[in-house]
Amino acid sequence: MSARTERQVIARLQTGIPNLDAILHGGLPKGVMTVLAGPPGSGKTILAQQICFHHIAQGGRVLYFNTLSEPTAKTLLYLRPFAFFDPAKLDDGIRFIDLGTMLRNQGLELTSNLLMDHLKQFKPSMVVIDSFKVFDDLSHSNEELRKFTYELAVRLMAWECTSFLLGEYSPELFEHPAYSAIDGIMVAKQQEISGEQQRLLKVVKMRGTSHSREDHPFVITDAGVEVYAPSITLRREAGMLRGQGATPRMRTGISRLDDLLGEGIPLGSSIIASGVAGSGKTILGLEFLYRGAREHGERGLYFSFEETEERLRATARGLGWELDRELERGTVQLVFIPQTDILVDRDILEMQRRVAAFGARRVVVDSMSVFLHRIEDKRIVRDKVFWLANIMQNHQAVGFFSNDVPAGTSQLTRFGVEETVMDGILHLSWEKEGLDRHRYLEVLKLRNTAHARGRHSVTIGAGGFCIYPRIEEAPPPEPRVPLAPRRARVSFGVPGLDALLDGGLLEGSVSLVSGSPGTGKSTLGLHFALEAARRGERALYLALDEEPTQLLQAAEALELPLREAMEAGQVDVLYLPREHLHAARALPIVENRIRELGPSRVVLDSASDIEVRGLVSEELRQLLHALVLRLRTLGVTSLFTLEARSLYVTDALSERGLSPLADNIFMFRYAREEGLLVPMLTVVKTRGSGHDRGSHRFTLGKGGLRLGGGSGNRASSSGVGPKPRRRPAPKRGRRK
């Protein structure tokens, strides 16, 4: 070993105070003389006594000099409640000596001689003088005190003793005449921080070591003194996991959330779930743990500062989750820390300890804004958030940190600094729309991940979170079958109607039926679905206007076998009531049912019920466009009905800009003939097929919809005037 290396090695003593050795970068240098300064009640005596008993447990011997005339019996009385106190070590391991009487009667010189006599007899490796400030009061001058301290330091060094001089010195003033002979100064104090009284420990000076110079909170419990220094202990762990190559990722298991998060959340990430009260942050965090335990076998820790364990259990039961079972299995732990008991640095280290001991892969802190609510300095908030994130990184866990934001503001987080430290932000909103409120989720940030953009609709109910990805962000399904170059024809199931279309609809096409109220749009949809059942296929009927019971009654009045087809499982009616329907949620609901059923035909009755404020919104157009793309990809032939604004036949189609979505457009209107309203059908458009361009009367009755009836089959397209004018026979439409 080189001489340079030898000079760097300093023997150290472990203090036995949690985290104090880390603050001292390895422990207390052996043989140093250290002042423990602080006002009465700051904890310096307990600190010194705990170090002494730990030193004895390591094989050392301690002389503890008391200068305040406190009987040894009283000192021991106060020591007994502490876990570190061992009465078996008295006399042989530690001796308490009272110097008070000698000091008052004989002065410094004779007291110094008495102290040396005890050192020669007991041969200690550690000495404590409590309180050394008494020597200040009894010395006649600063020079005398300086001389006494210097001689004491020399003699203790000769005996290779590590010593502590306790005193009620001011933490702000260190111009003591004896301090030139002192190797180290540690200060204990009490201070109000953000409305809370805290004990703090600071190492001001320590020769032979590069120590932390920060104020570190500490507490005194039955176990003794515990110092909290996350900025030291967590930083030392941070380097352990560097350089491991590509980072694996985590799937949350929450409905469609993984679709929004791209490849998944990189392990070691910290995610903020921010939002106003009631937006679902607690449920999102709880489901994150539950899905991880139940579906992936990953252990999860939930730190709650607001909800008790029983309330969290009750929430899970109300959502239909078997969280109690996961708690019994030991895959999930709920830790409740009342808001009034929060001590930030202590709790950060407690989180780190629990994450490490439990082997947690998923961690939820609910909420971070409550946890840090007493801290007013944003710089300190940033530091604490950094150490919380560091815990996740150190243990390759994923952390969800709920964060309350004030209602009515544009803030993304409570303090305004968290988003720069954390790896991701999930923003939850809870907005009023008309007479109702709707929830949304937006992925604002996720480092190193290509995530979905924009807001996505959310509902919370049985099963937990249900997310409806924004239309342009939802990936299309894989094609079920490739489309043949020449597609087959699909029958409507209405006598005479197929003939107007050169034999029927093209397979996989989309038809839009724009109709006046009562003209038979729904009946046409029933024919279309029942024709699939007659051919041994399946159909899905999406009812947005009529409940299944009403639909069955209407079908039975027309003698259409809808009930039989439903009982046979050939026609499935999915009712989506308009009061509960949100445009952004319709597509995932429909798509899931299509995947489950595998229909060849789909009827949507009616698309008008997805509209917002009575107009065709851009959201509706996007929804129908996305649905059309999915249906075409799957080779499904579909029919959409749409309520028309016009009652009578006019020059305007009134399909409100939706024609580009449809391959075929049918117009159902009334014409006035001799004081009567006569329903008329016109094939306005067919893509890739010829069609009859005339307007045709039809009737509704037993058996459903039938072309013809009244005074003839053809009618005026205008429908205006007392008598219809006859026209020449229409030309056949050219193929597009």
Q: Using DSSP, how many helices (H) and how many strands (E) does the chain show?
A: 22, 34
Predicted pLDDT at 1: 43
Predicted pLDDT at 425: 93
Place of tokens 């009134």: 654
Question: Buried b vs exposed e over 163-177: b needs ≥16 C-beta within 10 Å?
Answer: bbbbbbbebeeeebb
626 token code pair = 């996305």
Predicted pLDDT at 172: 60
φ and ψ at residue 591, rounded to 5 degrees: -65, -40
The CATH code of the domain at 489-715 is: 3.40.50.300
248-471: which CATH topology? Answer: Rossmann fold (3.40.50)
Structural contact between residues 260 and 375, judged by C-beta atoms closer than 8 angstroms: no
What is residue 449's DSSP assignment? -
Helix (H) or strand (E) holding 445: strand 436-446
φ and ψ at residue 186, rounded to 5 degrees: -120, 135
Q: How far apart are CA 605 and CA 603, in angstroms?
A: 6
For residue 633, count other CB atoms closer than 10 A to its CB. 15
Q: How far apart are CA 467 and CA 465, in angstroms?
A: 6
Predicted pLDDT at 476: 52
176: three-class secondary structure by DSSP: coil
For residue range 389-445, what is the model confidence (pLDDT) as tens digits?
A: 999 998 999 999 999 888 777 788 888 888 888 999 999 988 776 667 788 899 999
For residue range 553-611, what is the model confidence (pLDDT) as tens digits?
A: 999 999 999 999 999 999 999 987 765 556 566 677 777 788 889 999 999 887 765 55
Alpha helices by DSSP H, 42-127: 44-57, 72-79, 100-106, 108-122
**CA distances from residue 109 to 117, 398, 491 in whole angstroms, order as listed:** 13, 64, 118
- Intervals of the chain under pLDDT 70: 1-9, 69-70, 101-109, 171-180, 193-196, 235-246, 433-435, 471-487, 578-586, 608-623, 645-658, 709-736
Q: How far apart are CA 127 and CA 34, in angstroms?
A: 10
Q: How far apart are CA 543 and CA 550, in angstroms?
A: 10
Give the per-residue SS3 of 291-347. HHHHHHCCCEEEEECCCCHHHHHHHHHHCCCCHHHHHHHCCEEEEECCHHHCCHHHH
Q: Is the pTM of this model over 0.75?
A: no
**Selection from 84, 8, 98 nearest residue 46 by Cα:** 84
Structural contact between residues 52 and 15, judged by C-beta atoms closer than 8 angstroms: no
10-227: which CATH topology? Answer: Rossmann fold (3.40.50)
Q: How far apart are CA 70 and CA 131, in angstroms?
A: 11
Q: What is the separation of C-alpha 513 from the centre of its chain, rounded to a whole number of angstroms?
A: 44
Q: How far apart are CA 595 and CA 587, in angstroms?
A: 12
Helix (H) or strand (E) holding 692: none
Predicted pLDDT at 710: 46
Write down how long the chain is.
736
Structural contact between residues 62 and 96, judged by C-beta atoms closer than 8 angstroms: no
Place of tokens 């009515």: 408
Spell out the domain ranges in the chain. Answer: 10-227, 248-471, 489-715
Predicted pLDDT at 725: 39
Per CATH, 10-227 and 248-471 having the same topology is answered yes
Q: How far apart are CA 492 and CA 29, in angstroms?
A: 93
